[in-house]
Copies of this chain bind each other. A is one copy, B any other.
Amino acid sequence: MQTLAEFKNLIHLSKRQICEEIFSENADKIKVKKPERVVKNLAKIFDATLSISNAKGFQAMSLRDLSEASGLSMGALYSYFTSKDELVHMIQEQGRRVTTRVLTEHIEAVQGALEQLRAVIVAHLYISEVLQPWFYFSYMEAKNLPKKQRKEAIVSELGTEKLISDILIQGQTQGIFRLTDPELSAALVKALLQDWYLKRWKYRSRDISVETYAGTVLEWVERFVLV
């Protein structure tokens, strides 16, 4: 099984690079034009947003809180987004893009249903480890978002689940897996994957590493799906 360190090397996912992507996607809405400055300040803004929101909720985070934590004045903040809703949208959009890319790349890198199942499980756990604040935020705030963004979140949730159920179905037609309901099985796998980033405080306090967790999930799933 791939380790987290190997995974990190493979994906080259720097905070800087993510913010650069966000900048180029939202260049029209961001009033500041000097790329280097934008990237630096966006990183501060996103970090602070995730940190405060994950502690007490996005709605409860005032822009004065954000101003203080990010080190930018309220006026300056509004040079990087035009409303609180737009801020959360930028964050959501970018996290989804990265996640989808990483998962599909890891699935396509290997052959065979069992290998692909292992790949998607491990990749999901590792990417949620690397981007834990984003995953937690995304899960917890989804229901509080404006309607359009809520829809996007649901599509995304079902999308990753379909990656898993497709693999399960493929394995079943190949005679490798045996399942009564691949969709339900995929949902349960997803639940195990999500618990990692939802309860990270618990696993950390028990010194459970993501590799240990991944190993256990793989055992559970394989014992259930394999013929």
Contacts and interface: CB of A to CB of B under 8 A. Distances in A.
A143 B56 CA distance: 6
A143 B57 contact: yes
Stoichiometry (number of copies) = 2
Given A59-B59, A140-B140, A188 B206 contact: no
A58 to B, nearest CB: 8
B202 A188 contact: no
Interface stretch (A35-43, A68-76, A218-226): A218-226
B192 A60 contact: no
Interface residues of A, number: 34
Nearest to A219: B224
A206 B55 CA distance: 33
Contacts of A100: none
Contacts of A213: 184
Interface of A: 54-57, 59-60, 140, 143-144, 158, 181, 183-185, 187-188, 190-192, 194-195, 199, 202-203, 206, 208, 212-213, 216-217, 219-220, 223-224
